[in-house]
């Protein structure tokens, strides 16, 4: 019988999306041997596979997210943002020397007491075994943590529903002189024919021209004249963790693309000749597991702009953006009114309860449903990833657990709370 080969690294990161890539680059630049596992055949997660753009949210402290964004935007003079992200993210990981395993999905986690001892992943039918000093779950869905037996919460209080899943797509063929964009200003947009754009969307939803879950069609610039990224489809009441529900959702979302395109062609001057020229590889999941950590970030903390001694993200800011789990539009914050103040994310929210060598970063950190609706955006996830990567470096250097990490050292590098400002 052949001997099992275990692939060893200093740091093992599962999930090459916004948070995972930032974490991997941060740790590799500190000289660490980093392995990054990704179930798809490309890196980027939301940025590539689910076609997400633009980068939303703001973060007060400098972090690798700033550099990622700058480099992605540089290529957009000759590539769409999604294509640019595919190239740039791969380039940055390669430059940093991260060992990336594509088509490699974490399927099992072995542990002893409070520590993970081994990760089992599957690549093209081959089992692969990994071990490291520190493990980071940046799968967005908290998959690694759940496989390890971590506690998690899901959905909103009361009915447990999560935000809808959506398939983003792009259209081309818009009259080049007509610059209609609806990147949240759709609320005030009046078309050349005098009709209000948002009103038109709402009426189309009521009349059945648009599906009942769609009463707003957001149109984002892609950098190419006559092209837009469309953020409109939404399928409600889908459990993103249920294998039985994913295909029906995929099917419904693809049908919704057809309805949205017909609506735009018929009602929007300059859109008569549009064509779909690309779409996400997979339906985008906004919300699933929130891994229970040492501190649950609450929406009240956001309204208060709460400060934490162990902050690892400073002045994070984005509205409580809850796409209605139960119908069309937003559930409580139509138009992103920004009622919350710039807030901090504490390191403790990245530390899953009951584990000593596991951190979570990205949208599945410990927080409530409403707080998650703000910190889930990419700039904030990248900032968390950078912080988690630095924490993992310490865990590997000092052979220590997550709770022995010196957070002030992270704050110094990230210039948080006035730390490291003289550096
Ligand atoms: C439709 C939609 C529109 C959005 N619009 C915006 C927007 O305009 N601007 C914005 O900033 N944010 C937007 N968001 C939110 C944002 O895209 C995500 O919340 C963000 O990308 C989360 O980052 P992450 O790193 O936590 O996870 P992701 O970016 O999802 O990355 C997780 C990665 O882990 C991989 N993975 C999962 N499980 C495993 C496993 N078992 N083994 C190996 N790999 C695994 C996945 O394939 C993926 O690549 C949108 C989200 C959706 C769904």
Torsion angle, alpha carbons of 33, 66, 382, 105, to 10: -50
Of the CA atoms within 13 Å of residue 242, those in its CB half-sphere come to: 12
3 state DSSP class of 237: coil
Instruction: Give me the pLDDT at residue 253, please.
Output: 98
CA of 377 to the centre of ligand 1 (A): 9
Distances (CA, A) of 59 to 5, 83, 105, 344, 377: 41, 25, 30, 9, 11
Per-residue pLDDT at 290 exceeds 50: yes
Q: What percent of the chain has pLDDT over 70?
A: 94
Residue with tokens 């648009």: 210
Instruction: Give the containing element (helix H, strand E) for 246.
Output: helix 243-267
CA of 190 to the centre of ligand 1 (A): 33
Instruction: Give me the pLDDT at residue 353, please.
Output: 98
Residue of the CA atom closest to atom 27 of ligand 1 = 140
Instruction: Give me the pLDDT at residue 289, please.
Output: 98
When pLDDT is averaged across residues 127-145 and rounded to a whole number, the result is: 98
Instruction: Give me the pLDDT at residue 418, please.
Output: 79
More confident residue, 3 or 397: 397
CA of 46 to the centre of ligand 1 (A): 4
Global confidence as pTM: 0.96
Distances (CA, A) of 53 to 26, 61, 84, 96, 348: 23, 21, 12, 24, 29
The strand pairing partners of 218, in sequence order, are 231
> Is residue 160 left, alpha or beta, with left meaning phi > 0 and alpha meaning psi from -120 to 50?
left
pLDDT in tens, 328-339: 988 776 656 667
More confident residue, 417 or 208: 208
- For a mutational test of ligand 1's pocket, the pick from 46, 219, 253, 372, i.e. the residue with the most ligand atoms closer than 8 A to its C-beta, is 46
Q: Nearest-CA neighbor of 414 among 137, 65, 56?
A: 65
pLDDT in tens, 40-66: 999 999 999 999 988 999 999 999 999
Of ligand 1's listed atoms, the one at least distance from the Cα of 17 is: 31
pLDDT in tens, 9-21: 999 999 999 999 9
Per-residue pLDDT at 2 exceeds 60: no
3 state DSSP class of 409: helix
Reported confidence tier of residue 187, pLDDT bands at 50, 70, 90: low
CA of 276 to the centre of ligand 1 (A): 23
When pLDDT is averaged across residues 242-254 and rounded to a whole number, the result is: 97
**Lowest mean per-residue pLDDT among 132-141, 179-188, 232-241:** 179-188
Domain chopping of the chain, boundaries? 6-156+287-324+340-414, 169-279
Residue 318 and residue 363 in contact, taking contact as beta carbons nearer than 8 Å: no
Give the rounded distance of the alpha carbon of 98 from its chain centre: 20
When pLDDT is averaged across residues 279-293 and rounded to a whole number, the result is: 98
Distances (CA, A) of 384 to 24, 138, 154, 171, 260: 12, 10, 20, 32, 35
- For a mutational test of ligand 1's pocket, the pick from 58, 69, 106, 139, i.e. the residue with the most ligand atoms closer than 8 A to its C-beta, is 139
Residue 320 and residue 57 in contact, taking contact as beta carbons nearer than 8 Å: no
Q: Nearest-CA neighbor of 377 among 316, 334, 328, 325?
A: 316
Instruction: Give me the pLDDT at residue 423, please.
Output: 38
3 state DSSP class of 268: coil
Instruction: Give me the pLDDT at residue 194, please.
Output: 86
Of ligand 1's listed atoms, the one at least distance from the Cα of 380 is: 11
Residue of the CA atom closest to atom 45 of ligand 1 = 15
Instruction: Give me the pLDDT at residue 77, please.
Output: 82
Instruction: Give me the pLDDT at residue 292, please.
Output: 98
Instruction: Give me the pLDDT at residue 335, please.
Output: 59
CA of 1 to the centre of ligand 1 (A): 40
More confident residue, 338 or 269: 269
Instruction: Give me the pLDDT at residue 184, please.
Output: 60
Instruction: Give me the pLDDT at residue 221, please.
Output: 84
Residue of the CA atom closest to atom 15 of ligand 1 = 377
When pLDDT is averaged across residues 378-405 and rounded to a whole number, the result is: 98
Rounded-to-integer distance, Cα 72 and Cα 58, Å:
17
Distances (CA, A) of 210 to 16, 204, 275, 324: 34, 5, 18, 16
- For a mutational test of ligand 1's pocket, the pick from 283, 378, 386, i.e. the residue with the most ligand atoms closer than 8 A to its C-beta, is 378
CA of 233 to the centre of ligand 1 (A): 17
Instruction: Give me the pLDDT at residue 339, please.
Output: 75
Q: What CATH code is assigned to 6-156+287-324+340-414? A: 3.50.50.60
Rounded-to-integer distance, Cα 423 and Cα 410, Å:
13
Residue of the CA atom closest to atom 17 of ligand 1 = 46
When pLDDT is averaged across residues 82-86 and rounded to a whole number, the result is: 94
Instruction: Give me the pLDDT at residue 222, please.
Output: 85
CA of 378 to the centre of ligand 1 (A): 8
Residue with tokens 């692969």: 128
Q: What percent of the chain has pLDDT over 90?
A: 84
Residue 23 and residue 361 in contact, taking contact as beta carbons nearer than 8 Å: yes
Reported confidence tier of residue 422, pLDDT bands at 50, 70, 90: very low
Residue 19 and residue 362 in contact, taking contact as beta carbons nearer than 8 Å: yes
Mean pLDDT of the chain: 93
């Amino acid at each position: 019988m052949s001997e099992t080969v275990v692939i060893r690294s200093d740091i093992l990161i599962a999930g090459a999306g916004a948070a995972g890539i930032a974490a991997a680059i941060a740790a590799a630049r500190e000289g660490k041997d980093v392995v990054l596992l990704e179930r798809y055949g490309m890196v980027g997660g939301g940025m590539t596979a689910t076609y997400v753009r633009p980068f939303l949210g703001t973060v007060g402290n400098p972090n690798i997210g700033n550099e990622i964004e700058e480099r992605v935007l540089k290529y957009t003079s000759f590539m769409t943002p999604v294509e640019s992200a595919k190239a740039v993210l791969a380039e940055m990981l390669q430059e940093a020397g991260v060992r990336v395993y594509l088509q490699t999905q974490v399927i099992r986690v072995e542990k002893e007491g409070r520590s993970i001892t081994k990760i089992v992943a599957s690549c093209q039918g081959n089992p692969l075994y990994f071990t490291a000093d520190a493990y980071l779950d940046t799968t967005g869905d908290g998959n690694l943590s759940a496989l390890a037996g971590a506690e998690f919460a899901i959905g909103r209080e009361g009915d447990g529903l999560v935000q809808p899943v959506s398939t983003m797509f792009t259209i081309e063929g818009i009259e080049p002189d007509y610059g209609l964009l609806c990147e949240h200003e759709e609320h005030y947009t009046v078309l050349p024919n005098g009709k209000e754009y948002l009103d038109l969307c709402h009426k189309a939803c009521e009349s059945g021209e648009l599906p009942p879950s769609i009463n707003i069609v957001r149109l984002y610039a892609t950098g190419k004249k006559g092209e837009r990224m469309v953020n409109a489809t939404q399928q409600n009441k889908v459990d993103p963790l249920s294998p039985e529900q994913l295909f029906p959702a995929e099917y419904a979302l693809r049908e919704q693309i057809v309805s949205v395109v017909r609506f735009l062609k018929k009602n929007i001057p300059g859109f008569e000749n549009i064509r779909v020229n690309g779409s996400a590889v997979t339906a985008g999941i906004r919300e699933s597991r929130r891994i229970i950590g040492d501190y649950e970030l609450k929406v009240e903390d956001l309204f208060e702009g709460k400060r934490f001694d162990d902050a690892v993200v400073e002045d994070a800011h984005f509205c409580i953006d809850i796409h209605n789990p139960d119908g069309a539009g937003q559930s409580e914050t139509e138009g992103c009114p920004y009622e919350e103040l710039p807030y901090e994310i504490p390191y403790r929210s990245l530390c899953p309860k009951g584990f000593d060598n596991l951190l979570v970063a990205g949208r599945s950190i410990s927080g409530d449903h409403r707080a998650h609706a703000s910190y889930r955006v990419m700039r904030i996830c990248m900032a968390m990833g950078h912080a988690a990567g630095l924490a993992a470096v310490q865990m590997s250097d000092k052979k220590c657990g997550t709770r022995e990490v010196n957070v002030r050292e992270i704050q110094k590098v990230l210039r948080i709370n006035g730390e490291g400002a003289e550096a």
